[in-house]
Amino acid sequence: MVSRRAFLESAVRAGAAAGLTVQPAIRQPAFRRSALRTVGESAAHAAGTSPGELAADESYWAGIRKAFDLDPSLIYLNSAGCSPAPRHVLDGMIHDLRYSNEAPVEYMWRRLEPKIEIVRRELAAEFGCDPEEIAVTRNASEANEIAILGLSLRPGDEAIVTNHNYDRMLAAWDQRARRDGVVVKRVVLEMPPASDADVVERIRAAITVRTRVIELPQLTNWTGQPLPIAAIVALGRAHGIDVLVDGAQGFAHTPSTRDAMECDFYGASLHKWLLAPVGTGFLYVRRSRIESLWPLMPAPASMAADIRKFEEVGTHPAANHNAILAALAFHHGIGGERKLARLRLVRDRWARALVAESSRVRVRTPLDDPRSGAVTIVEVDGLDPVRLYEWLWSRYRIITSPTTFAGLSGVRVTPNVFTSVAEVDTFTEVMRRALRKGV
C-alpha cells in the first residue's frame, strides 16, 4: 500500500535523482511538488487496487484527466497522431524555453543541454538498454530515417517492408530505391493477419540472398496491430539480416523493452503514448551496430562509435527533450500496466458496442490480443471515412483520423489516459446515429 506522502516523496526523490531539483546558483525549473499533486492524489486513491479494477475506477481517471488542459468543448480521439502533454510537462518546457531565451548560449547550451544525459539514462532504464545505446531525436520519423538512410547498402541489395509500414518510412525506402538502387519489396499483410505465423511466413517468403534489412512497425499505425517482432528479429538474425523496428505506436503504450524484442534498431515517438511535448523521440542502436550506421546529419569521424553522433542536428531547443523527464515521471506515476488496462477498457467499451450494433461495422484490430492497445480503426459499410470524420468533427467536435490506406477504409479512434468513459459513450452514440441515418 503506497501512501500519498510516500508516493510524493519517492517521486520527488526520483526527480532529484534525475537532476530535476533547483541548483542554488543556477535559476532553473524545479521539479515542483505541485506538479505531482494530481498524480500523487491519484496514486493514493489507487493504492492496493489491481490494474483491472483500477481501469474501471472513473474517479481515479478523472484525477488523471485533471493533469491536462483539455478543451472541454471537444473529444480528442487521435492520440496515435499526437497527444496532449500534461500541464506540468508543458509548463516545464515553456519555462525552459523562456529561460533559454534570456541568454541562449549560456542558459540553453551550457546549463540545459547537458541534461540530455539524464534523459538518455532514464529512457534507457525504461527501454532496458545501456544509455550509450540511446540517441534522443525529435520524433520517430527522424529515428527511423537515421536507420533507413544510414545503413550501408549497395545497388541491388534488398529491403523488406510491409504494406502497413508508416507512409513516411515507406517514402524513405522509396528514396533509397531511387537514389541508391536498393530493391524494396513490400510484403502484403492482411489486417488483422491470420496469425503471427502467417506474418512471419510472408516475410520469410520474401527473403532472398540479397536481403539485407527488414523494417516493420511494432504496432501498425492505422490498426494498432501488434506484429511478432521477436520472431521476425530471430528470422532476420538467422539469415544475417538487420531488422529495424518502428516503435512509434508501441513505446509507453504496450510493453516495449529491448530484450523482449531482441532488436538492434528501434525508433520511438514520445509525443504519442509517453505524453511528452511535441518534438520528442529516441533511437535505440545496439552498441555493436553504432559504428557502422551513418548519421542523418554528418558528425566528426571521432564520434563514429558514439551514440551522440545521431544528435548532431545543429542548434535546437534543449527544453523539448528535457521535458521527457517529467513525462516519464508521470508515466511511472500511473504505471504502464495500469495505463494499458485502462486504454483497453475504454477501447473495448466503444469498439465492442459498435461491432455488436451492426454487421456493417468492422473493427480491424484484434481486441482479444493482449498485446493490442488503444489504437483501433473502425470501418462502416456505406460510410466514406473522410465524410464520417468531417461529420464527427463539424457536428459533434469529436476528433478522429480518417484513412483509405493499404486496403483499409475507416476512421482511427485512439483514446488516452485522459479519455473518460462518458466521452467514448458519446462517440458510440453518435456512431449509432451515423449508422441509422448516414452522415
Ligand X SMILES: Cc1ncc(COP(=O)(O)O)c(C=O)c1O
- Candidate residues 113, 133, 158, 246; the one interacting with ligand X per rule CB under 6 A: 246
Please, which residue, 12 or 324, has the CB nearer to ligand X?
A: 324
Among 119-127, 137-145, 196-204, 365-373, the segment contacting ligand X (CB under 6 A):
137-145
- Candidate residues 75, 146, 248, 424; the one interacting with ligand X per rule CB under 6 A: 248
Residue of 143, 125, 120, 135 whose CA lies nearest to 332: 125
- Candidate residues 79, 100, 223, 269; the one interacting with ligand X per rule CB under 6 A: 269
- Candidate residues 86, 281, 317, 415; the one interacting with ligand X per rule CB under 6 A: 281
Please, which residue, 65 or 164, has the CB nearer to ligand X?
A: 164
Please, which residue, 166 or 350, has the CB nearer to ligand X?
A: 166
Please, which residue, 86 or 281, has the CB nearer to ligand X?
A: 281
- Candidate residues 54, 77, 140, 408; the one interacting with ligand X per rule CB under 6 A: 140
Residue with C-alpha cell 553504432?
A: 290
Among 4-12, 134-142, 287-295, 425-433, the segment contacting ligand X (CB under 6 A):
134-142
Residue of 12, 23, 18 whose CA lies nearest to 111: 23
Give me 217's grid cell: 512497425
**Please, what is the minimum distance in Å from the beta carbon of residue 386 to ligand X?**
18
Position 166 contacts ligand X (CB under 6 A): yes
Please, which residue, 269 or 419, has the CB nearer to ligand X?
A: 269
In angstroms, rounded to a whole number, what is the distance separating the alpha carbons of residues 120 and 77? 30
**Please, what is the minimum distance in Å from the beta carbon of residue 130 to ligand X?**
23
Position 162 contacts ligand X (CB under 6 A): no
**What character string, x for contact with ligand X (CB under 6 A) and - otherwise, covers 62-81?**
------------------xx
**Please, what is the minimum distance in Å from the beta carbon of residue 298 to ligand X?**
22
Q: Per CB under 6 A, which of residues 340..399 are in contact with ligand X?
A: none
**Please, what is the minimum distance in Å from the beta carbon of residue 192 to ligand X?**
16
Neighbouring residues of 117: CB distance < 8 A, sequence distance ≥ 6: 131
Q: Per CB under 6 A, which of residues 81..100 are in contact with ligand X?
A: 81
Among 86-94, 246-254, 306-314, 431-439, the segment contacting ligand X (CB under 6 A):
246-254
In angstroms, rounded to a whole number, what is the distance separating the alpha carbons of residues 174 and 64? 42
**Please, what is the minimum distance in Å from the beta carbon of residue 117 to ligand X?**
22
Report yes or no: 306 and 290 within 8 Å, Cβ to Cβ. Answer: yes
**What character string, x for contact with ligand X (CB under 6 A) and - otherwise, covers 217-236?**
x---x---------------
Residue of 227, 213, 207 whose CA lies nearest to 164: 227
Give me 2's grid cell: 503506497
Please, which residue, 12 or 140, has the CB nearer to ligand X?
A: 140
Q: Please work out the total of residues on this chain that contact ligand X, with binding judged by CB under 6 A.
A: 13
Q: Which positions touch ligand X (CB under 6 A)?
A: 80-81, 139-141, 166, 217, 221, 246, 248-249, 269, 281
